[in-house]
């Protein structure tokens, strides 16, 4: 992956009004890069088919052009609790507002991306789809809703979208000049579908022996791969499932692991499908439904009724595939089991190193979550896989660019909020800025349970402070005193300075837990801005939203 420049690199020049009549616009909103990848794929194929197309990231889209669009495809993901991706916030808000124009000329289609283990699956895609129709747009075909195993929905959607685009644009006068695709950067040899086998150089626990957290610092070699990454980018990892879990599933279903199974044009043994190509540590609704159907268990089926939503969520938060199989026996065949389980998705880890400092290496900060539930061992597929890899073994990896989480110009100040393993990208940021001799100041806020055992990369931060490569650090050790102290408490204490930094152009980054930390930090930021700039809470929020839209407040949360 080539290094990308500033936040606007994904925008193609705004088109002249007339272009919109004969051209396809593909607009995307993407948090982790999937929607972007699909939009770019569509763009490439449409260009190859001789169509005029432009691809625009939602925050680079000039909304006043919307009423001139004739053919628009929107590819947009839904984050956690029915939230748009950060780069599409303004667009989604604009569409739902009274400022949105009538769209009587528009033909459109939407592809929503989401995760069906959340109740509001693809909510944003659905909302955009309905809103475009309400504004008068003609829906070419119904919205696609792609789950984490994207391709099974996105590929057919894409084929259909292409064919419809051909139909729609064939009557139009051909353009003299096709809008160039700036997204055609050097395609790396190694990518998601073809990962690089990176030797593990180091796998070291960095939390103290008495810590109840097993956090690891991993170093992998990219030597010979030609892979490039920028601070803020992520490393994609394809895990292999624990052998014990695969065998437990085979034993419970009484299926022969050596049975050959065909799926998606590939043949491998059932054991290999389970170990390398299927999710086993996450229970999904489609699998639950398929299993309920097969088991003939009425109680299980009843859980899928809308009235049982809470009971079902309860099961989902406690059960993995194996629990369902064990507690409610059903007859599976090797083929049907492989077909019903969700395809394995790679896991993305924020990269903890700067390539200008570590050369051919890539570093990760890994939290190894291994716990017992009702007496049964539980783990996350990739964190267990990585934590158990021995030095010298290889890991299938690829680079996932994260353009919205890149460093600003060297003279800008940055504020980095990264409790727990959320600190990873900031190690990369500080390394990179030190190497570049950036003049902007670096301020880090870090938190974890105990100073003594959980101060990740302590000596590196101290060294950086000494060398004036880190200008300020605030620490929140939550369990070193009677009352909890979190990063947002430190933020509040430093509210005046924080606002001053932001007001004079600093960039703010938040990385780590999405469900609680990032939300609490956001609320605290609203309070701080309100207090120190004498704005109302509402105006403070608007001000922060502008920072998000300008790419000056970026989040990498999970």
Residues that bind ligand 2AM (CB under 6 A): 419-420, 447-449, 478-479, 484, 486-488, 516-517, 520
Minimum CB–partner distance for residue 484 and ligand 2AM (Å) = 6
How many whole angstroms separate alpha carbon 165 and alpha carbon 145? 19
In the chain, what's the furthest Cα-to-Cα distance?
A: 72
Instruction: Provide the 10 A C-beta neighbour count for residue 311.
Output: 12
Strand ranges, E, within 78-158: 107-113, 138-139, 144-146
Q: Which is nearer to ligand 2AM, 22 or 478 (CB)?
A: 478
Q: Which is nearer to ligand 2AM, 346 or 419 (CB)?
A: 419
Minimum CB–partner distance for residue 558 and ligand 2AM (Å) = 12
* Nearest alpha carbon to residue 45 among 28, 26, 27: 26
Q: Is the dihedral of CA 245, 249, 254, 260 positive or negative?
A: negative
Q: Which is nearer to ligand 2AM, 66 or 487 (CB)?
A: 487
Q: Which is nearer to ligand 2AM, 356 or 478 (CB)?
A: 478
How many whole angstroms separate alpha carbon 330 and alpha carbon 196? 38
Minimum CB–partner distance for residue 419 and ligand 2AM (Å) = 4
How many whole angstroms separate alpha carbon 77 and alpha carbon 513? 19
Q: Which is nearer to ligand 2AM, 99 or 484 (CB)?
A: 484
Q: In what order do the strands lie in the sheet with 361-368?
A: 347-350, 234-237, 394-400, 196-205, 214-221, 361-368
Minimum CB–partner distance for residue 525 and ligand 2AM (Å) = 13
Burial label for 549, CB within 10 Å (0-12, 13-18, 19+), is middle
Minimum CB–partner distance for residue 79 and ligand 2AM (Å) = 18
Q: For 6, phi and psi rounded to 5 degrees? A: -70, 180
How many whole angstroms separate alpha carbon 409 and alpha carbon 439? 9
Q: Which is nearer to ligand 2AM, 222 or 525 (CB)?
A: 525
Q: Which is nearer to ligand 2AM, 238 or 426 (CB)?
A: 426
Q: Which is nearer to ligand 2AM, 297 or 520 (CB)?
A: 520
* Nearest alpha carbon to residue 144 among 55, 77, 51, 230: 77
Minimum CB–partner distance for residue 420 and ligand 2AM (Å) = 3
Q: Which residues contact 92 (CB under 8 A, 6 or more apart)?
A: 29, 58, 76, 84, 124, 127, 128
Minimum CB–partner distance for residue 518 and ligand 2AM (Å) = 8
Q: Which is nearer to ligand 2AM, 257 or 449 (CB)?
A: 449
Q: Which is nearer to ligand 2AM, 164 or 478 (CB)?
A: 478
How many whole angstroms separate alpha carbon 499 and alpha carbon 506? 9
End-to-end CA distance of the chain: 23
Minimum CB–partner distance for residue 520 and ligand 2AM (Å) = 4
How many whole angstroms separate alpha carbon 340 and alpha carbon 338? 6
Minimum CB–partner distance for residue 422 and ligand 2AM (Å) = 8
Minimum CB–partner distance for residue 522 and ligand 2AM (Å) = 11
Q: For 278, phi and psi rounded to 5 degrees? A: -130, 145
Name the 3-class secondary structure at 42.
helix
């Amino acid at each position: 992956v080539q290094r990308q420049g500033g936040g606007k690199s994904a925008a193609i020049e705004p088109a002249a009004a007339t272009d919109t009549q004969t051209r396809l616009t593909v607009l995307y909103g993407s948090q982790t890069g999937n929607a972007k990848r699909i939009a770019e794929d569509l763009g490439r194929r449409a260009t190859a088919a001789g169509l005029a197309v432009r691809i625009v990231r939602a925050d680079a889209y000039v909304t006043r052009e919307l009423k001139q669009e004739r053919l628009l495809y929107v590819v947009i993901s839904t984050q956690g609790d029915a939230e748009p991706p950060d780069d599409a916030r303004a667009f989604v808000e604009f569409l739902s507002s009274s400022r949105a124009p009538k769209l009587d000329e528009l033909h459109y289609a939407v592809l929503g991306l989401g995760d069906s283990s959340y109740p509001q699956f693809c909510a944003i895609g659905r909302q955009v789809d309905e809103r475009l129709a309400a504004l008068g747009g003609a829906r070419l075909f119904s919205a696609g809703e792609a789950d984490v195993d994207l391709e099974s929905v996105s590929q057919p959607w894409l084929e259909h979208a292409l064919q419809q685009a051909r139909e729609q644009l064939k009557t139009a006068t051909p353009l003299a000049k096709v809008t160039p695709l700036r997204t055609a950067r050097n395609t790396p040899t190694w990518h998601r579908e073809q990962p690089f086998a990176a030797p593990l150089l180091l796998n070291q626990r960095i939390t103290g022996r008495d810590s109840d957290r097993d956090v690891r610092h991993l170093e992998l070699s990219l030597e010979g791969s030609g892979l490039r990454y920028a601070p803020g980018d992520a490393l994609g990892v394809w895990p292999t499932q624990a052998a014990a879990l695969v065998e437990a599933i085979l034993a419970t279903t009484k299926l022969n692991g050596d049975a050959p199974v065909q799926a998606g044009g590939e043949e491998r043994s059932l054991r290999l499908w389970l170990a390398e190509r299927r999710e086993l540590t996450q229970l999904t609704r489609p699998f639950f439904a398929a299993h309920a159907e097969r088991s003939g268990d009425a109680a299980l089926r009843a859980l899928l009724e809308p009235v049982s939503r809470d009971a079902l969520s309860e099961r989902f938060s406690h059960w993995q595939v194996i629990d369902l199989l064990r507690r409610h026996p059903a007859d599976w065949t090797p083929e049907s089991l492989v077909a019903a389980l969700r395809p394995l998705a790679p896991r993305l880890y924020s990269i903890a190193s700067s390539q200008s400092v570590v050369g051919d290496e890539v570093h990760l900060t890994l939290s190894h979550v291994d716990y017992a539930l009702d007496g049964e061992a539980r783990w996350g597929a990739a964190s267990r896989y990585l934590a158990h890899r021995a030095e010298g073994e290889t890991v299938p990896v690829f680079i996932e660019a994260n353009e919205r989480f890149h460093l600003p110009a060297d003279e800008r100040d940055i504020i980095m909020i990264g409790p727990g393993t959320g600190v990873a990208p900031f190690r990369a940021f500080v390394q990179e800025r030190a190497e570049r001799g950036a003049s902007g100041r670096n301020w880090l806020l870090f938190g974890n349970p105990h100073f003594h055992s959980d101060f990740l990369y302590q000596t590196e931060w101290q060294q950086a402070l000494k060398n004036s490569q880190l200008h300020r650090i605030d620490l929140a050790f939550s369990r070193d005193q009677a009352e909890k102290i979190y990063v947002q408490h430190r933020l509040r204490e430093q509210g005046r300075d924080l606002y001053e930094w932001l007001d004079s152009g600093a960039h703010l980054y938040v990385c780590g837990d999405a469900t609680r930390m990032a939300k609490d930090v956001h609320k605290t930021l609203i309070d701080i801005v309100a207090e120190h700039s004498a704005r109302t809470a509402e105006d403070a929020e608007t001000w922060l939203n502008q920072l998000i839209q300008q790419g000056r407040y970026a989040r990498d949360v999970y």
